[in-house]
Amino acid sequence: MSIAIGLLGGLGLFLYGMTIMGDGLQKSAGDKMKRIIEVLTNNRIMGVLVGALVTMIIQSSSATTVMVVGFVNAGIMTLTQAVGIIMGANIGTTVTAQIASLNLDAIAPIAVGIGVGIWLFTKNKRIKSIAEVILGFGILFIGMNFMKNAVEPLNEYSGFRELLLTFGSGTFIDSFMGIFTGFLITAIIQSSSATTGVLIALASGGLLPIEAALPIVFGTNIGTCVTAMISSIGANRTAKRAAFIHFIFNVIGTILFMIFFKNLTIYLVKMLSPNDAARQLANAHTFFNLLNTIILLPFANFLVLLSTKAIKIKEYEKTEPIGIKYLDERMLETPSIAIVQVLKEIWNMGHSTLESYRTAMNAFFEQNEKLVQETFRIEQVINDMEREIAEYLVKLSNTPLSAKQHELVDQLFNTINDIERVGDHAENLAELVMYSIENHLVFSDTAVEELRTMHERVMKSYSQAIEALKTGDINMARRVIEREGEIDHIEKSLRASHITRLNKQLCSPSSGVIFLDMISNLERIGDHAAKIAFAVIDAE
């Protein structure tokens, strides 16, 4: 029992240290993470490098692959680009094993002390992030030391040692059992780095020679695919294909190594580190993923084709869904990318409200009841979008963000509220149109022309506000703000002239009330357009 408690405690510290170190690296990287992804092109080698680098930063190949599934699901990345990233992620995750295999137990407490000291006595968020990296590094090695000490008594249990040694006997059954053991442990823990950490602890204690460890290491690489495959549930077919490629890549690699490269790998790692089982294991892990990538990268198109044959897109999935398009919780693993996506989604919501407003006004000019119903339908979608975006922003605000990113997220809450209010005003306009149709109200040509003039100014203002939100165009945002005063003046002028018409009995009172309510709603849409424009300027 004491062995299990020590091993679990050490594993917990190892994972916690890895998480803190990854979070600190992400905060330090900030928007660099976004730029790292942006350099990705159809160049597969560049994709591998990006995948490896991102995984080194976030300290988890599972997280990187889950993120890639999210990118593919949101349409940011093609399946061909995803292949390179996935292969690179497998290489990047070996860095953790390389670090864990080093004998740095003596400096781990010093790293924790330095990390905590810096974190407590500085207010600079960037320096705090660096302190978290140092702190996580120290905790990771303390956890590693805990695991090493916990497994030492297992040397006295000959049955356990012999069980591990059977994995390296070379028979098909024993090799398969070793692979399955690695797969099962990693699938449960949801981290190949953690499983490799346990294996390194066993190897350091003399319990796990490289011959026995190698099949288990292969199994951990397959087991890490489970996280991405689970995350692809509910995603589109293309995202499912990305998860499938990750799985098939590691399965094919394992088969190739067990048949052709197992003995070569053992020979090379023993030659590099003849008396260090932990280093042998870490090097074998790296060698497997490097060589597997070199062998299979030229066949990336074949892997994509295999995934399309295995997972076919159904007919009903070919039509583009209305509503949320860009949000995916998998991307919260990389906050800088998630911010870009939520900005796209807010623009998408703004475009929907623009369509709602345009449809409501067309319903008035054409006296068309179908367009009124269409406005009501779009408004329901807009309400759902606002709720989902707000929930996503709450989750995003709880991720490792820089101070600037936190300010932007807070500001976006106000922006989605302004956009949703425009949808409400469009709905109000549609209700007024419906009332005028049902009651057969007649508007004078002058009144219709005045509404058309004001509508054109408001439409231009709001469409430019949404465009400025999409592009970050400061000059366009300023023009929207300037036009807001013009719209206020038009509203006052039309209100005065229409009251004059009412006094002269040139217009019916019922139509007059509808007219005044409509220009009031138009004026409010102009106000919200100006608020969105101010938000664009503040964001810059």
Query: Crossing angle, helix 262-272 and helix 277-296, to 10 degrees?
Result: 130
Nearest to 218 by CA among 303, 165, 284: 284
Token pair for residue 391? 């929930």
Question: Mean pLDDT for the chain?
Answer: 81
- The topology under which CATH files domain 329-539 is Methane Monooxygenase Hydroxylase; Chain G, domain 1 (1.20.58)
Residue 117 has pLDDT above 90, yes or no: no
Mutual orientation of helices 44-58 and 61-74 as an angle, nearest 10°?
120
At 159 the pLDDT is 60
Q: Do residues 425 and 458 make contact, with C-beta atoms less than 8 angstroms apart?
A: no
The pLDDT assigned to 423 comes to 92
10-24, 268-282, 519-533: which has the minimum mean pLDDT? Answer: 10-24
pLDDT of residue 425: 93
Of the pLDDT bands very low, low, confident and very high (cuts 50, 70, 90), residue 397 is confident
Using pLDDT thresholds of 50, 70 and 90, give the confidence band for residue 359: very high
pLDDT-derived band at 225 (thresholds 50, 70, 90) equals confident
The tens digit of pLDDT for each residue in 452-486 reads: 999 999 999 999 998 888 888 888 989 988 888 88
Mean pLDDT of 315-319: 48
Query: What's residue 430's pLDDT?
Result: 92
Predicted local confidence at residue 33, as pLDDT: 57
- Residue 386 confidence (pLDDT) above 60: yes
Rg (CA), the chain: 30
Contacts of 393 (CB under 8 A, 6+ apart): 342, 409, 412, 413, 416
Q: What is the DSSP letter of 330?
A: G
Which sequence spans correspond to the domains of the chain? 31-105+157-315, 329-539
The pair of structure tokens assigned to 187 is 């699938």
Residue bearing the bigger pLDDT, 97 or 235: 97
At 417 the pLDDT is 92
Across 163-172, 339-348, 383-392, 414-423, least confident range: 163-172
Interval 308-323 mean pLDDT: 63
pLDDT digits (tens, 9 = 90+) for 269-278: 888 888 888 8
Cα angle for residues 362, 365, 371 (degrees, 5° grid): 40
Burial tier of 540 (Cβ tally within 10 Å: 0-12, 13-18, 19+)? exposed
Q: Looking at this protein, which amino acid is placed at residue 233?
A: I
Average pLDDT for residues 188-195, to the nearest whole number? 75
Average pLDDT of span 224-232: 77
Q: How many CB atoms lie within 10 A of CB 233?
A: 9
Confidence class of residue 498 from pLDDT cuts 50, 70 and 90? confident
From 435, 537, 400, 413, select the one nearest 481 (Cα to Cα).
537
Q: Which are the contacts of 449, defined by CB distance < 8 A and separation ≥ 6?
A: none
Whole-angstrom distance, CA of residue 159 vs CA of residue 29: 48
Q: pLDDT, tens digit, for every residue of 17-76?
A: 767 776 766 666 555 555 556 555 557 778 888 888 777 766 667 667 777 777 776 666
pLDDT (0 to 100) of residue 50: 80
**Cα 75 from Cα 73, distance rounded (Å):** 6
Predicted pLDDT of residue 89? 84
Banded model confidence at residue 354, pLDDT cuts 50, 70, 90: very high
Q: How confident is the model at residue 525 (pLDDT cuts 50, 70, 90)?
A: very high
pLDDT of residue 316: 45
Q: Which has more confidence, 531 or 122? A: 531
* pLDDT at 319 (0 to 100): 45
Between residues 233 and 112, the one the model is more confident about = 112
* pLDDT score for 148: 67
pLDDT band at 120 (very low <50, low <70, confident <90, very high): confident
CB neighbour burial string for 137-159, b if at least 16 within 10 angstroms, e if fewer: bbbbbbbbbbbbbbbbebeeeee
Residue 107 in this model has a pLDDT that exceeds 60: yes
Question: DSSP for 453-486?
Answer: HHHHHHHHHHHHHHHHHHH--HHHHHHHHHHHHH
Structure confidence at residue 252 (pLDDT):
92
CA atoms of 249 and 477, how far apart (whole Å): 48
| Residue 502, pLDDT above cutoff 80 | no
pLDDT of residue 429: 92
pLDDT tier at 392 (50, 70, 90 boundaries)? very high
Q: Which residue has the tokens 């995934």?
A: 307
Predicted local distance difference test score (pLDDT) of residue 318: 47
Q: What is the pLDDT of residue 164?
A: 64
- Please determine, for residue 161, whether its predicted confidence score (pLDDT) is greater than 60: no
Return the percentage of the chain with pLDDT > 90, whole number: 13
Mean pLDDT lowest for which of 2-11, 109-118, 404-413?
2-11
pLDDT of residue 331: 75
